[in-house]
């Protein structure tokens, strides 16, 4: 799987949403992306990509798109 596919899978498996809903998805747009869901997503992403995110990045991670930019800081590039 590509990094983008893994990234998408992290969202769809954590929040049980379709891939088509991800492009504009933001924190609290759906019930599943609450504070607990956010921590679950961070844990899945860290395990998927073998990284440990800074608290500042966890707080900044407010949407699907912003998350792509943040993960680039950890050398997780997605095309």
User: Which residues contribute to the site for another protein (CB under 8 A)?
Assistant: 27, 35-36, 38-40, 42-43, 55, 58-62
Nearer to another protein, 1 or 65 (CB): 65
- Residue 52 CB, nearest distance to another protein (Å)? 10
User: How far is the C-alpha of 77 from the C-alpha of 55, rounded, in Å?
Assistant: 20
Assign 54 to helix, strand or coil.
Answer: coil
Q: How far is the CB of 26 from another protein (least distance, A)?
A: 8
In the numeric block, the tokens 């997780």 are attached to: 76
CB of 36 to another protein, least distance (A): 5
Crossing angle of the two packed helices 3-15 and 64-72, in degrees rounded to 10:
140
């Amino acid at each position: 799987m590509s990094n983008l596919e893994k990234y998408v899978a992290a969202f769809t498996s954590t929040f049980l949403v379709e891939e088509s809903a991800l492009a504009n998805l933001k924190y609290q747009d759906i019930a599943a992306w609450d504070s607990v869901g956010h921590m679950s997503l961070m844990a899945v992403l860290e395990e998927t990509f073998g990284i440990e995110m800074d608290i500042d990045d966890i707080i900044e991670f407010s949407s699907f798109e912003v998350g792509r930019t943040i993960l680039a800081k950890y050398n997780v590039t997605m095309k």
